[in-house]
Amino acid sequence: MALPKRAAARLRAFRADPIKRSLVTTIVVIAIPALILAWLLGSWVVQRLSNHMLEVAGAEVESFVEGLLPNTASQATPVAPGVTDAAWWQGFGARLMRNPRTIAVRVYDATGKIVFANNGTLIGMQPSSTGALDQALRGQRAASLEGSLLSPLDRRFTVLVPVTFGVSGSQGAIEVVQDFRSLRHELTLARWFIVGGVFVLVLLFLAVLMPMTRRMALGTYVDRLTQLPNRRYLDDAARVTLERHARFGSGAALFLIDLDRLKVLNDTLGHRAGDRVLRAVADRLQGQVRGGDYVARQGGDEFVLLLSGTDRTAAHAAASRVSSALDRPVEIGRHSVRPNASLGIALFPHDGDSLDTLLQHAEIAMYRAKSAKVPYEFYRSDLNPYSREGLFLESELRDAIDGGALELVFQPIRDLTTDRTVGVEGLMRWHHPQRGVLPPSAFVPLAEDTGLIRQLDRWSLEQGARQLAAWHAAGHDVYVSVNLSAQTASDPELLDDLARVLELTQAPPELLVLEVTERSAIADMESSAGILEGARDMGLRVALDDFGKGYSSLATLDRLPIGYLKIDQEFVRGIGRGSKDEYLIRAIAGFSRGVRIPIVAEGIETEQQLRWLRNEGIALGQGYLLAVPQPADRVLAAKDAAEDAPAAKSAAPT
């Protein structure tokens, strides 16, 4: 029989909630055995009392019966008239029946046949032998009271008194049956009194134990800082949820959410600030879930959302809502910090049929989102470096590095006042034979996972230096900026590679710029600072990319040999939208003027953004509005055309 929907939903929620299950288990494990033992204890006590009362009552009945028989003090057993003396036996039975508790009197001869009974219809009958009757016929008093530890006591109390009949000396027995009802009620009441007392003690014990059990369960299944369920809770909840979706053929989505640069925030603003951000993120995530969904803290800076009944379209919408919620700044004293989370999404059952598999795939997608600098990413099999597609792609990337399938294109960096090209940023492209031209976001994450990223960085560095040397020999004094990964920026061998490349290409070091992201520079501050200082001593400059997205302090910047600050394109996109991005850019611009570090605005795509940046005194910029990435031979042609345009315009007739 199927349960009602509401009852079934409550049952599923109970099965998925280990805290409730632990509390109920505690009650069941303690209360039910305690009550069973209390019942057995009460029955045992009642049985012992009834046996004692049985002995006393049997002696009283025997004494009363002997008092009604002739004086036979010299006999071992009472002596009664012969069994044929019906009149005497009638009087004897009548006297016994005067006792209000006596309900039957029967007399047995030596063969166990009834020779007298107050119910005359029984005379002459020979009932089946019983142990008590056999004992009485052997000359010993016997008494019985039906009942056991588990069954209620019987209302009949039977006493069998041995007797000798007349001068013949034949053995017999007198059976007196009495109503035991009043005593039975008293003993039953005693039993329930014991059970009730134990039940009260159990309740008092549980009243003390349950808060302790709840605290232990919360400590086991709830994260103390955010008060969210932890990974152990998620394991139980996900198992029940995924089993239900598998049974009904429905889908679910698992989001793995990782906060960017939380460690840096802890190091710069303190752990209290980091804890405040974690609690704020937890509150925002709880506001994004429905009934039947789960949000948990995986540990450290990772959170997990498990959304029930969610397909890919619904997951897209949910990811957008979560990203928007987490993008709002968190106010920490005088600081305003954006959590800047990266989301990886895995769908059940398409991407996995267990929590561990979904988490593994969501983590791959999350790192892909980080490297591509997008808010969220869905898992695909080609993202997994250990999948078949990933293995093929890794092999093809190795061949591309050695086989000339990689190209370095250049995006001009313009002086926003004169519109003159002052530098270029080198960007890798992979000419894949089947997939076409691939941007760095399509293969750099794979290179980072497989250890190929250093080879890519060396290739990019050498190609950028060769092109710089060629341009410099042709009389073009533009600097070339080359991107380095976090692994390369902290690699002690980088300085040797730089010396080798400069000697090989004869590129002017003062025009070669090493571009590292803010996250890369401060991920391993001790190693990066020393290596980048060594590069500066060789004459190179360092640009800090994506500035403003991390949590660097002024002391952090002071330790790095920074030659340029590049404002992240996310802040440039916020120009004209009434956001705080404009105030942040003004603050960065004022800081850069104070420390005399030029800044470059990235991602300029509209005329409004360009006008605002010019009005704010931002000197340098790059973006698709100004120039798109182009091959080396076309960059200079576009540069010359752009610089000749103002002169041609001024020379035109009016």
Residue closest to 622 by CA, chosen among 325, 423, 402: 423
% of the chain beyond a pLDDT of 70 = 81
Return the pLDDT at 9: 54
Return the pLDDT at 629: 93
Return the pLDDT at 385: 61
Mean pLDDT, residues 78-105: 78
Q: Please give the Cα distance from 28 to 236 (Å, whole number).
A: 20
Specify which residues 336 forms β-bridges with. Answer: 331
Residues 6+ apart with CB under 8 A from 9: none
Judged on CB neighbours under 10 Å (0-12, 13-18, 19+), 400 is buried
Query: Can you give the C-alpha Rg of the chain in angstroms?
Result: 47
Q: Which uninterrupted H or E stretch holds 396?
A: helix 388-403
Return the pLDDT at 74: 47
The boundaries of every CATH 3.30.450.20 domain in the chain are: 40-188
Judged on CB neighbours under 10 Å (0-12, 13-18, 19+), 272 is exposed
The boundaries of every CATH 3.20.20.450 domain in the chain are: 405-651
Which of 163-167, 227-231, 266-270, 385-389 is least confident? 385-389
| DSSP conformation class of 229 | B
Largest Cα–Cα separation, the chain:
166
Q: Please give the Cα distance from 226 to 285 (Å, whole number).
A: 11
Return the pLDDT at 570: 84
Return the pLDDT at 13: 57
DSSP string computed for 447-467? HHHHT-HHHHHHHHHHHHHHH
Return the pLDDT at 643: 56
Confidence band (pLDDT; 50, 70, 90) for 580?
Answer: confident
Return the pLDDT at 149: 39
Return the pLDDT at 102: 84
Confidence band (pLDDT; 50, 70, 90) for 202?
Answer: confident
Which of 87-91, 183-187, 527-531 is least confident? 183-187
Mean pLDDT, residues 273-297: 87
Q: Which uninterrupted H or E stretch holds 240?
A: helix 231-248
Structural fold of domain 231-379: Alpha-Beta Plaits (3.30.70)
Whether 654 shows a pLDDT value over 70: the answer reads no
Whether 256 shows a pLDDT value over 90: the answer reads yes
Confidence band (pLDDT; 50, 70, 90) for 556?
Answer: low
Which of 94-98, 212-216, 500-504 is least confident? 212-216
Tokens encoding 5: 């929907």
| DSSP conformation class of 600 | E
Mean pLDDT, residues 490-507: 92
Tokens encoding 132: 């008590």
Q: What's the length of the chain? A: 654
Whether 553 shows a pLDDT value over 80: the answer reads no
3-class state of residue 136 by DSSP: helix
Q: Beta strands 341-348 and 252-259: pairing type?
A: antiparallel
Nearest-5° angle of CA 328, CA 330, CA 333?
Answer: 150
Whether 601 shows a pLDDT value over 90: the answer reads yes
Confidence band (pLDDT; 50, 70, 90) for 387?
Answer: low
DSSP string computed for 522-570? HHTHHHHHHHHHHHHHTT-EEEEEEETSS---HHHHHHS--SEEEE-HH
* Residue in the block written with tokens 């080198």: 426
Confidence band (pLDDT; 50, 70, 90) for 647?
Answer: very low
Residue type (1 letter), 247: R
pLDDT digits (tens, 9 = 90+) for 337-363: 777 788 999 999 989 989 999 999 998
DSSP string computed for 140-208? --EEEE---SSSPPPSEEEEEEEEEETTTTEEEEEEEEEE-HHHHHHHHHHHHHHHHHHHHHHHHHHHH
Tokens encoding 422: 């002052």
Specify which residues 142 forms β-bridges with. Answer: 160
| Better pLDDT: 229 or 148 | 229
Q: Please give the Cα distance from 446 to 384 (Å, whole number).
A: 8
Specify which residues 430 forms β-bridges with. Answer: 406, 438
% of the chain beyond a pLDDT of 90 = 23
Whether 76 shows a pLDDT value over 60: the answer reads no
Q: Please give the Cα distance from 544 to 607 (Å, whole number).
A: 25
Confidence band (pLDDT; 50, 70, 90) for 615?
Answer: very high
Q: What is the mean pLDDT of the chain?
A: 80
Give the CA distances from residue 418 to residues 619, 620, 644, 645, 652, in Å, rounded to whole numbers and listed in that order. Answer: 9, 10, 12, 11, 19
pLDDT digits (tens, 9 = 90+) for 501-511: 999 999 999 99
Q: Please give the Cα distance from 631 to 491 (Å, whole number).
A: 29
* Residue in the block written with tokens 């969904």: 293
* Residue in the block written with tokens 């004293």: 333
CATH class for the domain made up of 405-651: alpha beta
Mean pLDDT, residues 164-187: 74
Return the pLDDT at 416: 93
Return the pLDDT at 339: 77
The answer to whether the beta carbons of residues 245 and 348 sit under 8 Å apart is yes
Whether 336 shows a pLDDT value over 70: the answer reads yes
Confidence band (pLDDT; 50, 70, 90) for 109?
Answer: confident
Whether 272 shows a pLDDT value over 50: the answer reads yes
The answer to whether the beta carbons of residues 529 and 502 sit under 8 Å apart is no
Return the pLDDT at 555: 54
Tokens encoding 648: 């041609």
Whether 69 shows a pLDDT value over 50: the answer reads yes
Return the pLDDT at 179: 76
The boundaries of every CATH 3.30.70.270 domain in the chain are: 231-379
The answer to whether the beta carbons of residues 19 and 222 sit under 8 Å apart is yes
Whether 148 shows a pLDDT value over 50: the answer reads no
Return the pLDDT at 157: 76
Confidence band (pLDDT; 50, 70, 90) for 523?
Answer: low
Q: Please give the Cα distance from 103 to 119 (Å, whole number).
A: 10
Range 40-188 has CATH code 1.10.10.10: no
Q: Please give the Cα distance from 456 to 518 (Å, whole number).
A: 20
| Better pLDDT: 470 or 267 | 470
Tokens encoding 514: 């090493």
Return the pLDDT at 472: 93
Phi-psi region of 548 (alpha: psi -120 to 50; beta: other; left: phi over 0): left
Which ranges in 287-433 belong to alpha helices (H)? 312-327, 355-372, 388-403
pLDDT digits (tens, 9 = 90+) for 455-487: 999 999 999 999 999 999 999 989 999 999 888
Q: Which pTM does this prediction carry?
A: 0.50
Specify which residues 483 forms β-bridges with. Answer: 515
Residue type (1 letter), 279: R
